[in-house]
Amino acid sequence: MYLSEIIDILKKDHNFREVITKQNAWYYHLPEKLAQIQIKQLVYDSRKASKDTLFFVKGQNFKESFLAQAIESGLRFYISQTLFYEVKGATAILVNDVKQAMALIAQAFFHHPEKKLEIIAFTGTKGKTTSVYFVKGILDEVTKQKTALFSTMETTLDGKNYFKSALTTPESLDLYEMMSRAVDYGMTHLVMEVSSQAYKMKRVYGLTFDVGVFLNISSDHIGPIEHPHFEDYLYCKRQILHNSKQVILNQNASYFALLLEESKESGVVAIHIYGTSNSGTDYFVKEIATNPLAFNICTGELSKNNNLAGQYTLRLAGDFNKENALAAIIASSLLGAGKSAAQKALAKVTVPGHMEVLVQKNGAHIYVDYAHNKISLEALLKFVKNHHQGTLIVVLGSPGNKGLSRRQDFGEMLSQFADIAVLTTDDPDFEDPVKIAREIACNITSQRVKVEILSDRTQAISHALSLTKSANDAVVLAGKGADCYQIVQGAKVPYKGDLAITQKFLIENLNYYTPI
């Protein structure tokens, strides 16, 4: 990619200031000698910089020493929002927004892979991961496994082999590189989660989705390193409405009227509405009392056809998963997947760390779920409470240095649903996990709830499992899901995982378990 092409992209986006060479010459129009220089690699990690690299200076923790290190490695060109660094020896391309620049340059550098894939994107406070797995399962039925997946849990670029994801939505440079690889593997479709941070940090700047789905919204990710307040969180989430060709909205979502109004003015081709009522929807979910895993999809008053109406069965428990499934079915249908493909796929889709259920010898159920915010925890505990009339034991913690509002939220949910709360560690990062647990405990207002704090999560799980007495009891292990690490002091420390710890405890205590 020529340097002149990069400058043209920046100018077209009104994100270009000037070029300042290492000789301190300032240019708005590049001299021919500079314009014809080829860039062969894009990086935002100074340790990967070389002679033919364009380096993006980004991040709150960036230090001038990083740039000096890159220049020592041969770096000649970098993009920055900062006018001057003391470090000399490379040409600076000055912009107003380096993240915005990185997104558009990455698109072009990787030959616009987003145009070679049909992309479905999900946003929402809860249900994103489950929904993208549903969509992948459905699309795989019609594409013969040519659907890539970018999720919180894991990523697949070839539709078959998976690896652990670093971020819910990758950095723009990584995002387009991964899309490019997916295209090279022969993928035709991509389903991905889009976080609020993806828009706030401009990871998906300039990217238009074929289908954008807004599942729900509730207060989350509020804190000094995420969103300063709920309005900012909701605003970032809503950007998907302006960057999708078609949108799907949940009628039951908070602020639905705002979402619908904004969608109508965003210029989307079509708006599809789902929910649990005939009124004002295209399709809605209807429960089947005799089978908690089955449900009917019915046509709503806005529907122009009944192509998706019929009975579907899931492997995942939880009423909330039926609404997620409906959103996934509608989204997949917009890219050509029919009812039969959806029925076949949903009957076998599982999601790592989401509603995995074990049964103890005494009949008590153990639910392992990634529920990690108010709305997802409320849905999970409400479901379990409705199906178990005995003691409800909940094991959870809250992450350190982010999502600070969750501590109050969790206290409220435990007050409402739990009988015993075992508070423990969940990615404490640079905070004391016991301090976090005490903050949650301070927000438990019901005298009925017995509160215990065990900072060792393995001990907390084992203790909770030992408290069950009958088939009426249930244990909920919330927050970690399938994560096999704890974030401590900025590093990922290996952790066996909630499911593995549960299985080991039951086997060692001859307390035989049965997967559901």
Question: Chain centroid to CA 411: how far?
Answer: 24
Looking at residue 176, what is its pLDDT? 98
Dihedral angle, C-alpha 111, 117, 118, 121, nearest 10 °: -80
Check which CATH number belongs to the domain holding 210 and give it.
Answer: 3.40.1190.10
- In this structure, the answer to whether residues 67 and 133 fall within a common structural domain is no
Does some domain include residue 498? yes
Query: Which CATH number covers residue 486?
Result: 3.90.190.20
* Alpha-carbon gap, residue 51 to 68, rounded angstroms: 14
Q: Looking at residues 461-490, what average pLDDT do you find?
A: 94
Please indicate, yes or no, whether residues 308 and 232 belong to a single structural domain of this protein. yes
Pairing verdict, β 294-299 and 283-287: antiparallel
401: containing domain: 356-515
Banded model confidence at residue 52, pLDDT cuts 50, 70, 90: very high
Amino acid at 434: V
**In terms of domains, do 149 and 219 share one?**
yes
- Provide CB contacts within 8 A for 404, sequence distance 6+: 222, 223
- Candidates 456, 287, 271; CA nearest to 383 is 287
> Would you tell me the crossing angle of helices 256-265 and 230-238 to the nearest 10 degrees?
40
Q: Is the pLDDT of residue 516 over 60?
A: no
Q: Is the residue at 351 inside a domain?
A: no
Q: Which of 355, 362, 417, 371 is closest to 391 using CA atoms?
A: 417
Structure confidence at residue 513 (pLDDT): 53
In CATH, what number is assigned to the domain containing residue 33? 3.40.1390.10
Give the pLDDT of residue 508.
Answer: 87
At CA 215, angle to CA 214 and CA 221, rounded to 5? Answer: 90
- Those residues whose C-beta lies under 8 Å from the C-beta of residue 167, and which sit 6 or more positions away, are 195
Both 340 and 371 in a single domain? no
Per-residue pLDDT, 514: 54
Cα dihedral value 441, 445, 446, 449, nearest 10:
0
Q: How confident is the model at residue 82 (pLDDT cuts 50, 70, 90)?
A: confident
* Statement to judge: residues 274 and 330 lie in one domain: yes
| In a shared domain, residues 175 and 253 | yes
Residue-level pLDDT at 339: 97
Considering the domain architecture, whether residues 230 and 243 belong to the same structural domain is answered as yes
Percent of the chain scored above 90 by pLDDT?
A: 79
Q: Give tens-digit pLDDT for 214-236.
A: 999 987 767 777 788 999 999 99
Are 285 and 331 in the same domain? yes
Specify if 388 maps to a domain.
yes
Q: Are residues 100 and 129 in the same domain?
A: no
Within 10 A of 386 (CB to CB), how many other CB atoms are there?
10
Q: Which of 346, 365, 384 is the last residue of a domain?
A: 346
pLDDT of residue 511: 66
pLDDT reported for residue 44: 92
Q: Identify the pLDDT of residue 512.
A: 58
pTM to 2 decimals? 0.85
pLDDT classification of 59: cutoffs 50, 70, 90 = confident
User: Same structural domain for residues 187 and 302?
Assistant: yes
Number of H helices, E strands in the chain: 16, 26
- Among 74, 109, 144, identify where a domain stops: 109
Number of compact structural domains in the chain = 3
Are 339 and 382 part of one and the same domain? no
What is the reported pLDDT for 23? 87
Distance in angstroms (rounded) separating the CA atoms of residues 357 and 367:
5
Q: Given a cut of 90, is residue 63 above it in pLDDT? A: no
Per-chain mean pLDDT for the chain:
93
Spatial distance between the Cα atoms of 485 and 493, rounded to a whole number of angstroms: 5
Over residues 140-163, the mean pLDDT reads 94
Note whether 274 and 328 are same-domain residues: yes
What's the pLDDT tens digit per position in 390-435? Answer: 999 999 999 999 888 899 999 999 999 999 999 999 999 999 999 9
CB 384, CB 476: distance < 8 Å: yes
Q: Do residues 151 and 166 lie in contact, with contact meaning Cβ atoms separated by under 8 Å? A: no
